[in-house]
Amino acid sequence: MAPAEAVTILIPGRLHEHAVARVERAFDVIRAPRADAALLSPADRGRIRGIAAMAHIDAAFIDALPNLEIIANFGVGYDSVDAAHAGRKGVVVTNTPDVLTEEVADTAVGLLINAVRELPKAEGWLRAGKWKSAGPYPFTRGTLRERTVGIFGMGRIGLAIARRLEAFGLPIAYHNRRRVEGVGYAYHASLLELARNVDTLICVAPGGAATEKAVDAEVLAALGPRGVFVNIGRGSTVDEEALAAALANGTILAAGLDVFADEPNVPEALLKAENASLLPHVGSASQHTRRAMADLMADNLESWFSGKGALTPVAETRHLGSLAGGTTPVAGAL
């Protein structure tokens, strides 16, 4: 795109360096440590027409920018942005779907296998010299064999995980805000009902008020003592205290967690849980996929300011105009 010097984009906080380079190439850029109106002069607040961010953007900040047209979010999950408020104010919000689907699904399957087969612990055993000194790593209590998998959030990523696990020979069921058209897996109308019918629960649900602590003590108990819980969506979806208790007292067998409620702060009780496999939110974090996300974020801004509409607007702001041909996400799923 030809440089549109007149358009000013705000980048609050840290952002992928390729995304920054692309945005700087096409627009005037203002950087700020975070999305806080007090950090911007009145003149700058008036100039800003777009935001490129992986930061918390609340209603007050949107209201403080009178000429804001678009918030391009780095990530498929956009619970950090008040998209409903943006939609009401005529500000389009975009995210980065599709380009990270397969990567995140790969990570989810890896995390599940780590949780049941204890592969990180087995590697630790080898590296610590215990294979030589103490013998083979103990047989794992967990296995993928004879499991039934429930997926909470049957969107693009949920479907990609389901397809992989189907190939592993595992039956799949799901819960989603609504039954998903064209998906043949068994549907359960509530998360609790899903948990009662499976022993392996994979959470791919978005964050936000609707899913806050949805995976609670009752859901975990319903999975039973063979239960395995994997979270690749958002930490806010889980009652972490209840999860740590369920892991400690054998209510469930194991967990695999890539996301936490207050990142990068992981609760001490989860750090201590020997039967939890923990990752530092790396679901999409390959160089390949993060670059694709950066490109899609920049493409959204360029498309919008060329008058062609947003490429991947989120549901709450789709009425503000998008390019024909954009994918239609499943409500309530990533």
**What residues are labeled active site?**
234, 263, 281
Task: Note whether 143 and 116 are within 8 A (CB).
Answer: yes
C-alpha distances (whole Å) from 201 to each of 25, 189, 226, 255 are 44, 15, 11, 9
76 vs 223 by CB, closer to ligand 8YV? 76
54 vs 257 by CB, closer to ligand 8YV? 54
User: Helix 156-167 to helix 101-117 angle, to the nearest 10 degrees?
Assistant: 50
100 vs 173 by CB, closer to ligand 8YV? 100
Q: 188 by DSSP, 3-state: which?
A: coil
C-alpha distances (whole Å) from 34 to each of 87, 162, 318 are 22, 37, 26
Residue 329 binding ligand 8YV, by CB under 6 A: no
Residue type, 31: R
Q: Which residue is nearest to ligand 8YV (CB)?
A: 75
Residues of this chain, 245-304, that bind ligand 8YV according to CB under 6 A = 281, 283-284
- Report, in Å, the least distance between residue 65 CB and ligand 8YV: 22
Task: Note whether 189 and 164 are within 8 A (CB).
Answer: no
- Report, in Å, the least distance between residue 120 CB and ligand 8YV: 20
81 vs 115 by CB, closer to ligand 8YV? 81
Residue 235 binding ligand 8YV, by CB under 6 A: no
CA angle 130, 137, 144 (to 5 degrees): 150
Residues of this chain, 44-73, that bind ligand 8YV according to CB under 6 A = 54
203 DSSP β-pair partners: 152, 231
Residue 75 binding ligand 8YV, by CB under 6 A: yes
What are the DSSP calls for 278-306, one per residue? E-SS-TT-SHHHHHHHHHHHHHHHHHHHT
Residue 76 binding ligand 8YV, by CB under 6 A: yes
- Report, in Å, the least distance between residue 202 CB and ligand 8YV: 15
Residue 77 binding ligand 8YV, by CB under 6 A: yes
- Report, in Å, the least distance between residue 124 CB and ligand 8YV: 26
- Summarize as ranges the residues that interact with ligand 8YV (CB under 6 A): 54, 74-77, 100, 281, 283-284
